[in-house]
Structure formats: structure tokens, C-alpha cells
Structure 1
Amino acid sequence: MNGIKKKYIAYIIIGTVLIYGIIRYFNAVEGYIKNITKALMPFVVGAMMAYIINILMDAYENLLLKKFHNKKIIRMVSIISAMFTFVLVIALLLGIIIPQLVKISFSIMYTNPSDLKRIIVDIGNNEQINNILKMFNIDTNNIDIAGYLARLIKEVMSGVGNVLSGVLIGISGFFNTVFSLFMAIVFAIYILVDKEKLGVQGDKLLKAFLPSKRDFIIDIISVFDNSFKKYFVSQVKEAMILGVLLYVVMSIARLPYASSISILVGVTALIPVIGAYAGLFIGALMILTKSVQSMIIFIIVHTLVQQFENNIIYPRVVGSSVGLPGMWVIVAVSLGGSIGGIFGVLVAVPVAAGLYYILKRETEKRL
């Protein structure tokens, strides 16, 4: 008993000294933490890449195992195929979207004042816009539409300029980014090659240090793994269907930038709740540089396609795969965005779905 008391006293003393040291030298500790985080970031990104690529790799392995039996060759072919697919998709997305966004940004920034004035007048005199405002009992005579739109476009142009300058600053660190990305890819490949070995090693650590909690920890990991896989696969399917549908309808309506906007909307659709509105805003801004009438048609088309996708396609494609009620989806997205920005929004829903499933299961057990 005395030995146990002495051990706890030693733990308390060590903990107190550590807390005092962190508080006393907080700035230095913060600097070390930032440096360590920066150094570890390529490996964190590599682990995330490995997790996403592993979904593709499993699909390739299941396909190849039906025809071949050499597991080593199948593993290498699956890794190469999954990596190639992942890199190809990212390259295609960036290669199509970024040049178009830069082109549109320059066209907006260097729009002639006479053209800007013409766009504002066209919007103010547009019959469809006036009819929509009248439907909501909004008196257009008391609204300085031209002045309001001029301020709005000025703010948008300023924002576009800031974004563009940020992109140019980011390009200056291109080589550091390339090196970090290379390290992440190499680390991801090592994880994919030795994923079974890493799993066995992790299980040994649990047996050695947390034997009583091993089954509980494995169960929690499997729940969140299942939640993330279902969420990412279903969201990618939904985004692809939405992008194709929008491209077909925009092509029929002969709207400009059909391919670029469809891909952009498909990518933003991966972000739950707010993604569709982000794609709508950016797409409308792009088309506005061509025609006000086309912008109005695009907004109507996007809204109709989005409603069709949400009410008809989404329940069939995604269904109850995530298993999280809509109310909690909104809560999860709001909290995730506040804590981690875009990354927080992306992971908030599967994390919340995993927690919801665990809480629901444990509640049913207790009842």
C-alpha cells in the first residue's frame, strides 16, 4: 500500500512540474509544438491518403482475386492502380478547375467600368428578377439595386483579388509543398504495403498495455472505420451523379462553362449542406461575366437539379448508409466548421454518425 501511495505521489509531483513548466514557458512550448506539428504533417497527410486510397485498393484486390491467386502480385498491382486512380482524379480536377477559376478571376478583376455598368443595368431592368421580387412583395422602386449590386460586385472583386494574391503567394512555396507531398505519398505507400503487419503490431500493443480494453477499442475503431467508408463512398457517388446531371442539363440549355461548373459543383457537393450553395454561388458568378440571362437560367437549372438529386437520387444512392438524422447532420457540420474549417466539415458527419451509432447501441443495450 505504501508503495502504491508513493507511486501516485510521484505521478502527482511529475504532473505538477510538467504543468508548471508548460505554463511558465508557454511561448517556447507552443513554438516546439508548432515545429513538431509541421514536421509530422506530411506523415499525417500520408496516413489520410492511405486510408482513402485503401478503399480503392480493396476494390481492386477484390476484383483481381476473382481471376488471380498470387497475393503479392495482386497487392502491388492494386496499390499501383489505386495510387494512379487517386492521382489522376486529383490532377484532372485541378487541371480543369484552376485554369478556369484563374481565367474568370482575371476577367472579373479587369472588367471595364462600362461593361460593369451594363451588367448592373441589365440586372436592375431584368423582367424575371423584378417578377421574383414582386412575388415576395418587395418594392423595387425603393431599392437602389444598381448601388447595392455595385457594392456587392466591388466586394466580390476585392475578395477574388485577395484569393488570387493568396494563390500567387502559395505558388512561391511550391517546392516545399512538392517535397511534403512526395513524403506523404511515400509514407502512404509504406502503410498500404504493410497494413496487415501494422494491424498485427497495433493488436500486440493493445494486448500488452490495455488487455482489458482491447475488445472495446477494436470495436470503436471498426464502428468509425465503417462510418467513414460508407460516408466517403456514398458522397463520391452522389457528387458524380450530380455533376453529370448538371452537365447534361446545362449543355441542353447551352449555358457557358458547362464542364467546368459541373465538375466544380460535383467537387463542392462532397462538402455536406453548404457545398451545393458554394457551387451555385461560384457558378453564377462565372456565368455572370457572360450574360445576366444565362446566370438566371443557371440558378433555376441548378436549383431544379439539386432538388431532384436530393429527393429522388440521394435516398436511393446514399439511403441510410450514414444513419445520421438530418438535424444532427446540420449540428455536426456547424461544429466541424467552427473547429476545423473545411476539413472539420468533411469529417464531422462520419464522426457524428459513429458517435450516434455507438450511443444508440449502448442505449438499446441498457434498456
Structure 2
Amino acid sequence: MVTKFFKNNYNLRKSLYTLGIVILSIVFFRYTENAKLVNFIPSVLKVMKPFIIGAVLAYVLNCGTNCLEKNILSKLEYFKSRPHKSRAVSITIAFLLLIGVIVGIIAYIIPEIVSSIQNVVNFFVGIDSETVHEYLNSFLTKHNIDISVSTYRSLLKTTDNAMNSLTSSLKYMPEMLTSIATHTISFASSLVSIIMGIMIAVYMLLDKEKLLHFCKKTLFILFSKKQVEGIANTIKYTNSVFNSFVVGKTIDSLIIAIIFFIGSIILNLPYPMLFAIIIGITNMIPYFGPFIGAVPVVALTLLINPIKGLWVLIFIVVLQQFDGVILGPRILGDSIGLKPIGVIFAIIVGGAIAGPLGMFFGVPIFSVLFTIFSNFVEKLYNSKNTVENKLEKETNKDDDTEKSE
């Protein structure tokens, strides 16, 4: 009787759920002041670290393994009668490709970046104010540029300030290198968790249908059928948005980085690998990313060679126009479903909360939240209109009845 009463009273259920959440929240925030609980949470996260790594790896590689299994291996005669082997082979190939990419980055790209950074540091260390003044005088004389004495003094003062800022920044370089070494050691110490995470990811990918079925059964125990369908649709939409945006933006930025690298070699620009990586990584952030990446690249090139600095600026502007008008829309399409103002809002809020990663992941997260909120508002609006229309019809019916009498 009580169960039937509880099921038939939606508002009562909603109130009890809300009350339960409030009580749990109060208990949680009350006991987070306790040092034991504060220390307990990191301990739990440390234990769960291999599972978190495994889940992330499984999610990242799932798209690739699906593509290999369904579009390539399943069409081969050997695997048509052995579907379990096609799954294992696709997972093996995906992990080998991932390892190959990581080894390639460590063996070729990182040494090139380190060499470029070292050259940049050596370049600025060997420059003093007199060298800058001589270079400025020769540049003005060579290009027949005539400026007033006050402008010349202002220019000298600006260059001196810039050199002082760079010199003070270079003082922190040893600390940065020490920090990198510390993080490298920390990474090595986490190697056991990473290896365990890889093993967990393999089993997750092998048995993903069983895991999903178990999760679905758990949801059916906790929620009604309609609620489970709503949760499932939300998860599917979230997965679609993240896959489309993250994969699409990664491919887009990789293409932009490759084009910039090739263009840098053709134009004989300095540090092509370092600059291409800066442009590619910052391009992952919509709207603001290209500007963030252009600033250090153009500034460094201008200091080394002003003419080439102008060429770099023109090249970046043309490249970003190509990305924004042609390449980006073809790869990404309307994957996030947000207006420009929504994207800018997501970038600003995400950046304030989690820095560069927040600026990137804030866009798909805000897109999902905005879609859920929009659907909720639309549902309430339609429900309200339905009730109002029903009341209006009943009122009109009563009026007609009175008139007929």
C-alpha cells in the first residue's frame, strides 16, 4: 500500500529524493572538515588510478577498435567465422599504433623541441642592450627608415625593457628544467599504474558489451524505464559530442600543424618543429587558440628576423582563414551545436576553472549541459501549454453549455 502510494505520487517521490540529496550533501560537507576523510579521498583515488587510466584508454581506443573490427577485419574471410579473434586483433593493432605514436614522439619530436628551446635560450643569453642597439641602427639604415630622435629613444627604451624582461624570464629556466625532470620521475613511478591501466583497458574493450549490459541492469534497478531511457539518450548524446569535437579538433589541429611545418620549411623560418607544435596545440582551443599560439611564434621570429616575422604573421592569418572557412567546417561540421557566444562563454568559464584543459573540454561539456537544459525548458514549456490549452477548452465548453441553457 505504501509502495503504491509512493509510486503514484510523483511530487512526493521528488521531494524525498531531494531531501535525501540535501542530507547526504550536509553530511559530506560536514565530515570533509575531518582530516581523516580528507586523507582518505586521495587514498581512494590512488587505489582507483589504474581503473581510471584503463577507462580513459578504453574510451579513447574504442572508436579505433570499432573501425578496425567492423570495417576491415569483419570483411576478411578468416575473421567472419571467428568474431572473437577479430576483436582481439583490432585491440592489439590499436595499442601497437598508440605505442608507435608515443615512441615516435619521444624519439623524434621531443629531441627536436628540446634542441629548438636550447637554441632560443642561447640566442637570448648572447644578446645584450648594445647588440640590440647596433642591430636596430643597422636595420633602420639598411631600409632607409627615418624617424625622429624622440621616437628613436622611445624605441631603444622599449627594446631595453623587452630584453630585461626576457633576461629575468630566462633565470627561471633551470627551475623549469628541474620541474620537468621531477615530473618525468613521477611519471616513471606511475609506470606500474599505467601498465595495470593498459591491462584493464584491454579487458574493458574485450567485454564492453557485458559491462554495458551490467550498467544498464543496475540503472533499471534504481530508476524507472522512462528515466533509464532518458539517461541512456543523454549518455549517447554526450559520447557523440565528445567524439565529434575531440577527434575532429585533433585531426583539424594536426593538419594545421603539418601545413605550418611544411610552410615554415619552404619559407626557411626558424624552429619549424617547435613553432608547428605550438600552433597545432593552441589551435585545439576554438576562437582564442590561434591568437594565443600566434603571439610567441610571431614575437620570437620578429626578434630574430623582422622581415620573416611579418611573413610568419601573414602565413598564420591565411592559415587560420583556411581553417575557419574550409577545413574546420568540413571536419567538425556542427558537432557541438553551440552559437559563437556559447562557445566563447564555455572557453572563458572553462579556462577560469581548469586552465588550458578547461578551455578545450569546456566547450563539449557546456554543449551537453546546454542541450539538457534546453530540452528541460522545452518540456516544461510544452507541458504548461498543454495544461493551459486544456483549461481553455474546458472553459469554452462550460461557456457554450451556459449559452445553450
TM over 0.5: yes
1:94–1:282: structure 2 CA closer, same or farther, 3 Å change rule? farther
1:161 & 1:285 partners in 2: Cα distance?
A: 23
Match for 1:54: what amino acid?
Answer: N
1:16–1:175: structure 2 CA closer, same or farther, 3 Å change rule? closer
**Which whole-Å deviations, capped at 9, do the CAs of 1:90-121 have from their partners, x for residues lacking one?**
33334444223322333344457543547744
1:226 & 1:307 partners in 2: Cα distance?
A: 27
1:158–1:63: structure 2 CA closer, same or farther, 3 Å change rule? farther
* 1:66 is the counterpart of 2:79: no
C-alpha contact 1:120 1:149 (8 A) present in aligned 2: no
1:118–1:316: structure 2 CA closer, same or farther, 3 Å change rule? farther
1:250 & 1:173 partners in 2: Cα distance?
A: 35
Cross-structure match for 2:200: 187
1:118 & 1:107 partners in 2: Cα distance?
A: 21
> In structure 1, the residue corresponding to 2:190 is in which secondary structure?
helix
Give the TM-score normalised by the residue count of structure 1.
Answer: 0.82
Higher relative contact order (CA 8 A, sep 6+): 1
> In structure 2, the residue corresponding to 1:216 is in which secondary structure?
helix
C-alpha contact 1:257 1:287 (8 A) present in aligned 2: no
1:17 & 1:145 partners in 2: Cα distance?
A: 56
In the TM superposition, what is the alpha-carbon distance from 1:352 to its structure 2 partner? 1.4
Cross-structure match for 1:214: 228
Cross-structure match for 1:142: 154
C-alpha contact 1:108 1:157 (8 A) present in aligned 2: no
Cross-structure match for 1:103: 115
In the TM superposition, what is the alpha-carbon distance from 1:124 to its structure 2 partner? 4.6
C-alpha contact 2:347 2:362 (8 A) present in aligned 1: yes
2:84 & 2:348 partners in 1: Cα distance?
A: 44
C-alpha contact 1:50 1:188 (8 A) present in aligned 2: yes
* 1:238 is the counterpart of 2:252: yes
Q: Percent identity?
A: 24
Match for 2:31: what amino acid?
Answer: I
> In structure 2, the residue corresponding to 1:39 is in which secondary structure?
helix
Match for 2:313: what amino acid?
Answer: I
What does residue range 330-341 of structure 1 map to in structure 2 within 5 Å? 330-341=344-355
1:124–1:46: structure 2 CA closer, same or farther, 3 Å change rule? farther
1:41–1:276: structure 2 CA closer, same or farther, 3 Å change rule? farther
CA RMSD of aligned residues (A): 3.6
What does residue range 47-58 of structure 1 map to in structure 2 within 5 Å? 47-58=55-66
* 1:346 is the counterpart of 2:342: no
2:326 & 2:279 partners in 1: Cα distance?
A: 18
* 1:171 is the counterpart of 2:180: no
What does residue range 32-47 of structure 1 map to in structure 2 within 5 Å? 32-47=40-55
1:285–1:186: structure 2 CA closer, same or farther, 3 Å change rule? farther
1:124 & 1:41 partners in 2: Cα distance?
A: 55
Match for 1:353: what amino acid?
Answer: S
Decide which moves more: 215-224 or 309-318: 309-318
Structure 1: gaps (5+ residues): none
Match for 1:90: what amino acid?
Answer: I
Cross-structure match for 1:22: 31
2:191 & 2:344 partners in 1: Cα distance?
A: 36
Decide which moves more: 55-64 or 194-203: 55-64
In the TM superposition, what is the alpha-carbon distance from 1:221 to its structure 2 partner? 0.6
1:66–1:320: structure 2 CA closer, same or farther, 3 Å change rule? same
1:30–1:48: structure 2 CA closer, same or farther, 3 Å change rule? same
> In structure 2, the residue corresponding to 1:322 is in which secondary structure?
coil
> In structure 1, the residue corresponding to 2:269 is in which secondary structure?
coil
Determine which of 240, 260, 281 is the counterpart of 1:267: 281
* 1:304 is the counterpart of 2:325: no
Decide which moves more: 194-203 or 93-102: 93-102
